[in-house]
Structure 1
Amino acid sequence: MDSSPLTDLVGIISNGVASIESAYKKENVSFPALNEPFSPGPLDNDAALDMTIRTVVAASLQLIATIRPPMESLQEVASGMYMSATLGTVNEAHVANVLGNAGTQGMAVQDISKEVGIESGPLARVLRFLATRHVFREVAPNVFANNRISSSLVKVSSVEEMRKNPASQYDGSPVAAVVGHITDEALKSSPFIPTYLSGGHKDAASPFNMAMNTKASIWEWFEQPENAMRGHRFNTAMKGGGERFPPSTYIEAFDWKSLGNDAVVVDVGGGVGPVTLALHKAFPQLQYIVQDLGPVIGDAKKFWDAEAPTAITSGKVKLQVHSFFDPQKEEKAAVYFMRLVLHDWPQSTSQKIMTTLRKAADPKSKLIVFDMVVPHACAEVPPLPGAVIGPPAPAPLLSNFAAGHFVTMVDIQMLNLVNGMERTLEDFVHLGDHSGWKLESVKPGPLPAFIFSPV
């Protein structure tokens, strides 16, 4: 019997599941149960297993999309705001923390209600909606418990501590912080996307500006006293997001040893300098400069005092207040690099940032841009010969199975909040062509490195 797309998808799922179970069997552990709270496991960061899981997920989603009636698929997509709204409700009310003390037997919704201050009837409906989608579980009628997914929302502070100090309630809890950011300011801004894209935005910089009725950028908005908690939450979310990329992402992206001793490496818009810290530890012979705005550099001093104080006192690492919109202070550096900077800006603004760096660069300088890349949802011929972002997807999967689902979400998130964008490989080539740089190569990895040379 000839294969069909359905049997091909089932085969991918079956083979992938067998590989996953085999890997866990070798470690003498079982695959984590959905109904148990999350706990770190020995295979959480296994790259090969991660790709297998991504393949199984991609095939499962495609199988559902293939066999489910189109109207049902459209209804689920169209009603996605209810997932965001209900998830934001329980996250803000600390429901996962409350259930964390209840164990696997769960807690009656009336008792949850007393702890979180939400009427029991609507709360049960919210939790049942989420449990039906495998976030939380209903262990008995109107009795709910955490599962592997919802337990990831548990914040490290107690409910009492969070209520006493709301501004820092997300400290040390990056997953809850990401969910809070998306289900708050991003959710509130998203209804304005259609108007913004259809040209009805007048002078608004982004849908976020329309939603919040402000001309301030989201960064300036976070600094306003009434948004202190949101700003603190966003910083926690971004710190957690950055930490998911191992130091090898940056250490192996470029032949740093090819640079002469004391060659200057400039971390443009580097925050407190976590990437420079990784590079400094691996290549202490180089000179590093971390650039960012004043308040961030103030935090950077504390960061380096704690992590590597001698790097500053020895002069190997310099902290510098600088805006990447101003003429670059450090001319003729060996390397300029940016991590997750350009995705905050539209193409025209990103070209200005790169043009400013080109004016300061030496003909032998390199520019390295660490950023996500959007793979097309179809087969493509790379515009840069030899540039391979990820392994090919087995038929009949979409060609962008490995990264497309997440990165396309982030792309719309950037559009929504700052009119920024995640970029395709063609977009990066275009950036270089219009700012005096030539994209020479791409180093694939958890966060690809785009390496440019001056032209």
Structure 2
Amino acid sequence: MDAFATLRALSDLIADAVTTVERTYKDAGLKPPSLEAPFDRDDPAEALRRDPVVAGAIQNLVAAAGQITAALRDPVQSIVTNSQAFQISSCLQAATQLHVAEILKEAGPKGLHVKHIAARSKVDPSLLARIMRLLATHHIFREVTTDVFANTRISSILDKGKTADELYANPHERFNGTDGLTALVEFLTDDCFKSSAYMTDAMLDPSGPATPHMLAFRTDEDMYKWLENPNNESKFHRFGIAMQGTNVEEPEDTIFRGFPWDELPAGSVVVDVAGGLGASTLFIAKKFPTLKIVNQDRGPVIEQSKAYWREFLPSHVDDGMVEFQVHDIVLEPQPVKNASAFLLRNIVHNLSDPDLVAMLTHLRAAALPTTRLVILEYIAVSASRGASPHPYARHIPVLGARRTNAPEPLLANYGVAGAPLYYYDLTVHNLLSGTSRTVEGFFDVLRRSGWNLLEVYHCPGTVTGFVIADPL
């Protein structure tokens, strides 16, 4: 396809996507959410974005817009701009720490002058204006008039649901009672951002034991042990809530899409391996209260998990239907021998291949012939349309919902529309030497640890998929 044909095809994808979104919203008697209005999770117009037709159109639109921009923009400008994208992370960190979204929520749509925003934290208003202007340039806030800023639909995501006065009075409790999304943003723009700066240093010294995170924070402890240090108590607290926030990135029903939890008999045991607070299995227990949950993680995390379940599902705790176990998933044999399912949600990418094989081998040794391994994870996809070089690619028995390539001339993995998956891939590398895996990668580690890949289910509208396996 020549250059003009490619540009026309990309333009057509954008036009078709807008037409699809417009038609779907009009049929529903709704209008798309306004960029200038605060985000409202209960708004039917927001719910309609999750409709597979709308979600697919938006994905095509974002991918095509990104590709046409890359094709036409001056490449010097593109590379220099991308090389400074870290400034957005830095500015987002400032906005969350200074509670700007909450201050602007109270100010309303007319906005507030930056000198009044800055006064709450006693910071330099001229610098804060420059920070806000960069974010407004990316539609994360809105500059109503010069130096007067207001929230947008995007910036309102940072609202922790508290008043600014409450946040300034109790800064260490700012994430309590939230959905975890702002904690996730702070974690990404703080610990993850700082670690990423050392990725090349660690890569050029492969003989060194240090991860980029170890280099960034000058420690010989892995991230989990470092977070559990008493000196890092606030970061540890934030991390636990941030992991809860990863649920918010997906539709609430994602956990129910790729595995038939309803087919497990009453009393079946579901083990949430390295489950953190246990947010995923709490969703399952709410819908299927006859299932017994075992949440496993490191000691300090389990203490957080007990409080979390006591707050959000006390009946399961009182009825003895949830058990909390301190367990090292890599070093220790799996103690639960009667599991109907082992659930691994967003933890496999934290592990290198040797550590993952060690953990999966422990699970295989404890599994019954009927036990199912349920991995809910990001599944990496090549940007190329070429055939997989994996020697067994054609023989991998992938049933379920397959992931389709993006329509041409888009990159096969939807380009910038699919970028979050690859951001997370490098994030877990920098923090823990982890990695995101392709279907072929999952096939390999499962076989090496005694599991048979049964099915892969790609959740529409997300980068998440289910990998289901049974014992070999």
Q: Same fold (TM over 0.5)?
A: yes
Q: Are 1:214 and 2:219 counterparts?
A: yes
Question: Which SS does the other structure have where 1:22 is aligned?
Answer: helix
Q: Are 1:345 and 2:359 counterparts?
A: no
**C-alpha distance in 2, partners of 1:320/1:297?**
7
Of 111, 116, 120, the match for 1:111: 116
- Offset at 1:418? 1.4
**Aligned residue for 1:436?**
450
**C-alpha distance in 2, partners of 1:305/1:141?**
48
**C-alpha distance in 2, partners of 1:327/1:93?**
45
Distance 1:441 1:130, change over 3 A: same
Q: What aligned pairs does 1:237-386 form with structure 2 within 5 A after superposition?
A: 237-246=242-251, 248-256=253-261, 259=264, 262-325=267-330, 326-379=332-385, 381=387, 383=393, 384-386=396-398
Could you tell me which runs of 5 or more consecutive residues in structure 2 were left unpaired when the two chains were aligned.
none
Q: Which amino acid aligns with 1:97?
A: E
- The one-character-per-residue Cα deviations of 1:172-191 (angstroms, maximum 9, x if unpaired) are 16332222112211121111
- Offset at 1:377? 0.8
Distance 1:232 1:288, change over 3 A: closer
Distance 1:252 1:140, change over 3 A: closer
Between 1:24-33 and 1:308-317, the stretch displaced more is 308-317
- Offset at 1:118? 2.1
1:247 and 1:275 in contact (8 A); partners too: no
Between 1:4-13 and 1:434-443, the stretch displaced more is 434-443
Question: Which SS does the other structure have where 2:452 is aligned?
Answer: strand
Distance 1:303 1:25, change over 3 A: same
- The one-character-per-residue Cα deviations of 1:17-74 (angstroms, maximum 9, x if unpaired) are 1111222223333222223333332132323212221111111111111111111111
Question: Which SS does the other structure have where 2:46 is aligned?
Answer: coil
- Offset at 1:256? 4.3
Distance 1:225 1:156, change over 3 A: farther
Of 146, 158, 161, the match for 2:166: 161
Distance 1:91 1:251, change over 3 A: closer
2:142 and 2:151 in contact (8 A); partners too: yes
**C-alpha distance in 2, partners of 1:179/1:335?**
31
Question: Which SS does the other structure have where 1:335 is aligned?
Answer: strand
**C-alpha distance in 1, partners of 2:101/2:311?**
32
- Offset at 1:285? 5.0
Of 29, 32, 44, the match for 1:42: 44
2:286 and 2:313 in contact (8 A); partners too: no
Of 389, 414, 436, the match for 1:401: 414
Instruction: Let me know the Cα RMSD of the aligned residues.
Output: 2.5
Of 116, 136, 139, the match for 2:141: 136
**C-alpha distance in 2, partners of 1:111/1:216?**
42
- Offset at 1:287? 4.3
- The one-character-per-residue Cα deviations of 1:372-424 (angstroms, maximum 9, x if unpaired) are 11111122557324455423311111111286311001111111111111211
Distance 1:357 1:101, change over 3 A: same
**Aligned residue for 1:448?**
465
**C-alpha distance in 2, partners of 1:173/1:285?**
26
Q: Which amino acid aligns with 1:361?
A: A
**C-alpha distance in 1, partners of 2:102/2:319?**
45
**C-alpha distance in 1, partners of 2:203/2:226?**
22
TM-score, with structure 2 as normaliser: 0.88
Could you tell me which runs of 5 or more consecutive residues in structure 1 were left unpaired when the two chains were aligned.
none
Question: Which SS does the other structure have where 1:155 is aligned?
Answer: coil
% identical equivalent positions: 33
**Aligned residue for 1:99?**
104
**C-alpha distance in 1, partners of 2:308/2:113?**
44
Q: Which amino acid aligns with 1:318?
A: E
- The one-character-per-residue Cα deviations of 1:49-106 (angstroms, maximum 9, x if unpaired) are 1222111111111111111111111111111111112222222222222222322322
- Offset at 1:431? 0.8
Of 75, 89, 96, the match for 2:80: 75
Distance 1:159 1:262, change over 3 A: closer
1:389 and 1:448 in contact (8 A); partners too: no
Q: Which amino acid aligns with 1:111?
A: H
**Aligned residue for 1:421?**
435
Distance 1:354 1:313, change over 3 A: same
The count of corresponding residues between Structure 1 and Structure 2 is 453
Distance 1:25 1:449, change over 3 A: same
